[in-house]
Structure 1
Amino acid sequence: MKAEELRLQRCTNCRTWIWGPQWICARCHTFNPAWESVDPIGVVYAWSRSYHPFIREYAHRTPYVTALVELPHAGGRRVLGLMPDAASHHIAIGDAVQGRFELDEGAVWPLLRWYPFDDRT
């Protein structure tokens, strides 16, 4: 994510998408699947609004919305990410979203944030 890419595993033999990360393809049992870049564009599969600050550094950001997004360019695999405040007020299952990688002040790793899809960008 530091390279601002969403990468998921894909079997080099049968081309099956794999998520979460594994050492072996569950379909054809080939070892060491490759990591491939995937367009961070998908559809909201599920979401949850959290009022409890699970991470102390983000306590000032509650409530926040975690979205589970289905990626059509990755065989329908689903990836978690956060939604920014403004976008999270009108979220609905089935909404088209696009991911952006954002590095918060003082953070080491970027976060994947989902925004309403805008095909003009």
Structure 2
Amino acid sequence: MTPSAGAARKFPATALTGPYADGLDLPYWEGLRAGELRLQRCAECDLWIWGPRWMCGRCQTFDPEWVAVEPVGRVFSWSRTWHPFIPELAGELPYVTVLVELPHAGGRRVLGLLAESGDTDIAIGDAVAGIIQQPSEAPWPLLRWQRAHTSSETERGAQR
């Protein structure tokens, strides 16, 4: 099933979401439930941390705090997947995985799925914004990324 150009899809991969058994990433998931993207930041040295850690890798302070971050950034890298590596996404092929660099989190990079996987014009450096989907059938929300189209991109598309 291929969506129309620019259409956002809902991914059914909710079985892949939720905190690990050790609870280290629970504040991340609780943040998504509250409509926020939360990452760790060391209260001692201000280092942004992702993925979750029990202690800061710079100053070795334990229990970095979880801070809400504006979910906007730029595509640092991306990959389109055509092979069903995991059964939960087999019906959603192709899908695009993006590595997003977050300027409001010290340049930390977060991996996620692009909401518009039919978008063939994705490029490194594209501005993206996070959207949090709260699926009714799953206990945990999903973070997806969508391109933030500028007015010049819209004009270019109209000229094609």
Q: TM-score surpassing 0.5?
A: yes
Number of aligned residue pairs: 120
Q: Which structure has the bigger radius of gyration?
A: 2
Instruction: Kindly provide the amino acid, as one letter, of the partner of residue 99 in structure 1.
Output: G
Which structure's residues are more often strand, by fraction? 1
Aligned to 2:47: 16
Assess, with a 3 A threshold, how the Cα gap between structure 1 residues 109 and 52 changes in structure 2: closer, same or farther.
Answer: farther
Structure 2, unaligned stretches of length 5 or more? Answer: 1-31, 151-160
Percent of aligned positions that are identical: 58
Q: Please list every run of 5 or more consecutive structure 1 residues that lacks an aligned counterpart in the other structure.
A: none
Residue of structure 2 in register with 1:58 after alignment: 89
Task: Give the secondary structure class of the aligned counterpart of 1:80.
Answer: strand
Q: Is it true that 1:32 corresponds to 2:63 in the alignment?
A: yes
> What is the root-mean-square deviation of aligned Cα atoms in Å?
2.0
Give matches, 1:1-121, under 5 Å: 1-85=32-116, 88-104=119-135, 106-117=137-148
Structure whose residues are more often helix by fraction: 2
* Ranges of 4+ aligned residues in structure 1 off by more than 4 Å: none
Q: State the alpha-carbon separation in 1 of the partners of residues 88 and 58 from structure 2.
A: 40
Quick one: distance in 2 between partners of 1:53 and 1:103?
A: 24
The two structures have a TM-score, normalised by structure 2, of 0.68
Please tell me the residue identity of whatever aligns with 1:81: G
- Inter-partner Cα distance in structure 1 for 2:93 and 2:112: 15
- Cα deviation 1:29-55 (Å, max 9, x = unaligned): 111100000000000000011112233
Task: Name the SS of the counterpart of 1:85 in structure 2.
Answer: coil
Distance in 2 between the 1:48 and 1:103 partners?
A: 25
Which whole-Å CA distance do the structure 2 matches of 1:9 and 1:68 have between them? 18
